[in-house]
C-alpha cells in the first residue's frame, strides 16, 4: 500500500478538533484526502458553519444543561439530563433531544455527542453528576433510548457515552485515570443496561470512557479489548468512538501511542481531542498529524494489523452514509417556547425546608467547585444572576454574620468544602438558603434548599423565580 493510500485510510478513522471559527485550510485539505470529520468545541462557535454535506461527520459535544458548546458564554437554556430524569416524561425528553439537534445544526453539526448514558451512583463524581439522567438503571435506560430516538428523528446522529459507564467514579478522566467502583455484577446490572437500551433504540455510534473496570483488566476501556468486546456483546455493530485522546487518562499512560492503542482495542473513530484544552499542545494541525503518523508507523511495523484499520474505516464509512441519509430528515419547525421550557425547569426542581419570599437583592456565597474541562461554570455569571444586584462572596472568605437571607451556591454538595460553607451559613446567616446546581444530597442540608439539577442558565433562572416566590414546608411555591 502506498504512503498516500495508507494516510487516506487512516484519515478515515480520525475525528480531530481545531482552533478558531470557520474551516481551517488544513481541515479542508484533509477532508479532500478522506478525513472522517471534525469535532466542534466552544472556540469554534460563531463563525460560518462547517459544511457537513457528503456525510462529513461534524460532531459537537453538546448535551444541553450543564455541558454546552453552543452557549458556553452565558450557559444553556436547554433542559439537561438531570432535569429530564427528574421530570421523567419520555415524551419531553424526546422533544428536548429534537431541540438539541436543531440547536446543534446551527453550527453545521450533524453528529450530537449525547446522551450521557452513565448511571450516576457516586455522589462524589466530579465529572458526571447532573449530566446523567439519574442513579437508576431503568430511569437512565428509558431516557437514553428516548434521546437517541429524538435526535435521529430530528436529523442528527446520536452518540451515547461513556461506555462502560462513568457513573461510579470519583476521578475526572480529563485529569487522571479513574477506576470504576462497581464490581462486575453491578457493572453488568447497573451500568451496561443504558447502553443496551441505546443499541435497541438504533444508536449507530457509542463513545468509550477512559476508565478501568478492574474485572476486565488494568487498561482504560478505550484501550481495553475485553471492555469493547463487552459492548459488541450487547449486539452493537456500529462505530465505537473514543473519548478525546488528549485527556490525561490516556495521554499520561500512552502518550503519542494512544491512537494506536485505541484502534488495536477495537475503537473505530478516534476523537483526537480539543486543542484549546489545558495540557494540549495548542497546535491543532500538529496534533492531527501526530496521531496519523503514529497509526501509519504502527501499520508499517506490523504493530497494528492493516485489517483492523480497514475494518474501522469501513464502519466509519457506513456511518457517513447514515449521516448523509439523516441530512434529508425534517428537523422541528420551531423551538420549544421559552415559557414552556422554564416551566419544565421549575417542575424538575426540588425544594426542602421552608423559605420566605426573597425577590432580592441577595447575598450569594459562591462555594462551587472550579470548572473542569468538560463543565464550565461560566465564571461568576450564575452567582451574579442569583444575587439580583446584591453582593457575591467567595465561600473561601467565609459567611458574614450580617448576611441575612444569604444564598449559598453549590454544585457538588457531597464535597466537604461545600458542606462546610453550608454549615457556616446555617450558623451565621439567618434565613440562609442553598441553591444546588448538582446532584441531590444523600443527607438533608441544615437550611432550606432548592435543587435545580443542572448547572445552566435555565436552571439558575428557575432557581431565581423559586427564591423570589418562597415556598412552604409542603414544598410548593408561595411564601410559608
Co-location of 294 and 383 in the same domain: no
Co-location of 313 and 357 in the same domain: no
Active-site residue, 338 included: no
| Position 39 pLDDT exceeds 60 | yes
Element (H, E) at 408: strand 407-410
Q: Which of 61, 77, 118, 243 is catalytic?
A: 243
Q: Which long-range contacts (CB under 8 A, 24 or more apart) does 219-224 make?
A: 219/253, 219/261, 219/265, 220/173, 220/177, 220/249, 220/250, 220/253, 221/163, 221/164, 222/250, 222/261, 222/262, 222/265, 222/267, 223/250, 223/253, 223/254, 223/258, 223/261, 223/262, 223/264, 223/265, 224/265
- Bridge partners, residue 354, by sequence: none
Q: Is 112 helix (H, G, I), strand (E, B) or coil?
A: strand
Mean pLDDT of 169-196: 85
Co-location of 358 and 261 in the same domain: no
Co-location of 316 and 362 in the same domain: no
User: Shortest CA distance to 437 belongs to which of 382, 359, 370?
Assistant: 382
344 is a domain residue:
no
Q: Is 449 helix (H, G, I), strand (E, B) or coil?
A: strand
Which of 291, 326, 361 marks a domain boundary? 326
Co-location of 210 and 141 in the same domain: yes
Reported confidence tier of residue 478, pLDDT bands at 50, 70, 90: very low
Co-location of 49 and 89 in the same domain: yes
192 is a domain residue:
yes
477 is a domain residue:
no
Calculate what percentage of the chain has a pLDDT beyond 90. Answer: 78
- Split into its structural domains, the chain has a count of 2
Q: Is 471 helix (H, G, I), strand (E, B) or coil?
A: strand
How many angstroms separate the CA atoms of 341 and 454, rounded?
A: 14
pLDDT at 404: 63
Active-site residue, 451 included: no
Co-location of 43 and 173 in the same domain: yes
Mean pLDDT of 127-148: 96
Q: Which of 152, 174, 210, 451 is catalytic?
A: 174
Q: Minimum mean pLDDT among 61-65, 94-98, 331-335, 357-361: which range?
A: 331-335
336 is a domain residue:
no
User: Shortest CA distance to 164 belongs to which of 201, 134, 196?
Assistant: 196
Q: Which domain holds residue 408?
A: 349-469
Which of 276, 294, 326 marks a domain boundary? 326
Co-location of 301 and 354 in the same domain: no
Co-location of 127 and 73 in the same domain: yes
Q: Minimum mean pLDDT among 66-75, 445-454, 457-466: which range?
A: 66-75
184 is a domain residue:
yes
The CATH code of the domain that includes 57 is 3.20.20.300
Reported confidence tier of residue 479, pLDDT bands at 50, 70, 90: very low
User: Shortest CA distance to 262 belongs to which of 232, 238, 242, 236?
Assistant: 242
479 is a domain residue:
no
Co-location of 279 and 392 in the same domain: no
Contact at 8 Å (CB) between 165 and 221? no
Reported confidence tier of residue 59, pLDDT bands at 50, 70, 90: very high
How many angstroms separate the CA atoms of 89 and 145, rounded?
A: 12
Mean pLDDT of 384-403: 82
455 is a domain residue:
yes
Which of 326, 361, 389 marks a domain boundary? 326
Co-location of 374 and 445 in the same domain: yes
197 is a domain residue:
yes
Co-location of 66 and 104 in the same domain: yes
How many angstroms separate the CA atoms of 138 and 153, rounded?
A: 23
Amino acid at each position: 500500500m502506498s504512503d498516500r493510500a495508507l494516510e487516506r485510510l487512516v484519515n478515515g478513522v480520525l475525528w480531530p478538533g481545531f482552533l478558531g471559527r470557520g474551516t481551517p485550510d488544513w481541515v479542508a485539505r484533509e477532508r479532500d484526502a478522506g478525513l472522517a470529520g471534525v469535532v466542534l468545541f466552544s472556540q469554534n462557535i460563531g463563525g460560518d458553519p462547517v459544511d457537513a454535506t457528503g456525510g462529513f461527520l461534524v460532531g459537537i459535544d453538546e448535551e444541553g444543561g450543564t455541558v454546552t458548546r453552543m452557549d458556553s458564554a452565558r450557559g444553556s437554556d436547554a433542559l439537561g439530563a438531570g432535569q429530564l430524569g427528574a421530570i421523567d416524561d419520555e415524551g419531553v425528553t424526546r422533544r428536548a433531544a429534537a431541540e438539541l439537534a436543531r440547536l446543534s445544526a446551527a453550527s453545521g453539526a450533524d453528529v450530537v455527542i449525547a446522551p450521557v448514558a452513565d448511571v450516576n451512583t457516586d455522589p462524589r463524581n466530579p465529572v458526571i453528576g447532573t449530566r446523567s439522567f439519574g442513579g437508576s438503571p431503568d430511569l437512565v435506560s428509558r431516557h437514553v433510548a428516548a434521546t437517541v430516538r429524538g435526535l435521529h428523528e430530528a436529523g442528527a446522529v446520536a452518540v451515547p457515552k461513556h461506555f462502560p459507564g462513568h457513573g461510579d467514579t470519583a476521578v475526572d478522566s480529563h485529569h487522571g485515570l479513574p477506576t470504576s467502583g462497581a464490581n462486575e455484577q453491578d457493572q453488568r446490572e447497573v451500568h451496561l443496561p443504558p447502553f443496551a437500551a441505546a443499541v435497541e433504540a438504533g444508536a449507530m455510534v457509542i463513545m468509550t470512557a477512559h476508565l478501568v473496570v478492574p474485572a476486565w483488566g488494568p487498561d482504560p476501556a478505550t484501550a481495553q479489548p475485553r471492555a469493547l468486546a463487552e459492548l459488541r456483546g450487547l449486539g452493537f455493530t456500529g462505530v465505537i468512538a473514543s473519548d478525546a485522546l488528549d485527556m490525561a487518562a490516556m495521554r499520561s499512560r500512552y502518550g503519542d501511542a494512544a491512537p494506536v492503542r485505541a484502534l488495536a482495542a477495537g475503537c473505530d473513530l478516534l476523537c483526537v481531542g480539543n486543542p484549546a484544552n489545558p495540557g494540549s499542545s495548542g497546535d491543532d494541525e500538529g496534533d492531527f498529524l501526530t496521531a496519523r503518523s503514529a497509526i501509519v508507523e504502527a501499520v508499517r511495523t506490523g504493530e497494528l494489523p492493516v485489517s483492523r484499520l480497514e475494518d474501522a474505516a469501513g464502519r466509519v464509512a457506513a456511518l457517513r452514509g447514515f449521516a448523509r441519509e439523516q441530512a434529508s430528515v425534517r428537523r422541528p419547525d420551531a423551538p420549544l417556547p421559552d415559557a414552556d421550557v422554564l416551566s419544565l425547569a421549575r417542575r424538575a426542581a426540588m425544594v426542602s425546608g421552608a423559605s420566605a419570599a426573597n425577590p432580592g437583592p441577595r447575598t450569594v456565597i459562591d462555594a462551587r467547585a472550579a470548572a473542569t474541562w468538560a463543565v464550565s461554570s461560566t465564571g461568576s455569571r450564575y452567582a451574579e444572576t442569583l444575587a439580583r444586584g446584591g453582593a457575591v462572596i467567595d465561600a473561601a472568605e467565609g459567611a458574614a454574620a450580617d448576611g441575612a437571607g444569604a444564598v449559598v451556591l453549590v454544585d457538588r454538595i457531597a464535597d466537604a468544602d461545600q458542606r462546610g460553607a453550608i454549615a457556616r451559613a446555617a450558623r451565621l446567616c439567618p434565613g440562609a438558603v442553598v441553591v444546588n446546581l448538582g446532584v441531590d444530597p444523600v443527607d438533608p442540608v441544615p437550611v432550606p434548599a432548592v435543587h435545580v439539577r443542572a448547572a445552566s442558565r435555565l436552571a439558575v433562572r428557575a432557581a431565581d423565580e423559586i427564591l423570589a416566590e418562597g415556598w412552604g414546608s409542603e414544598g410548593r411555591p408561595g411564601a410559608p
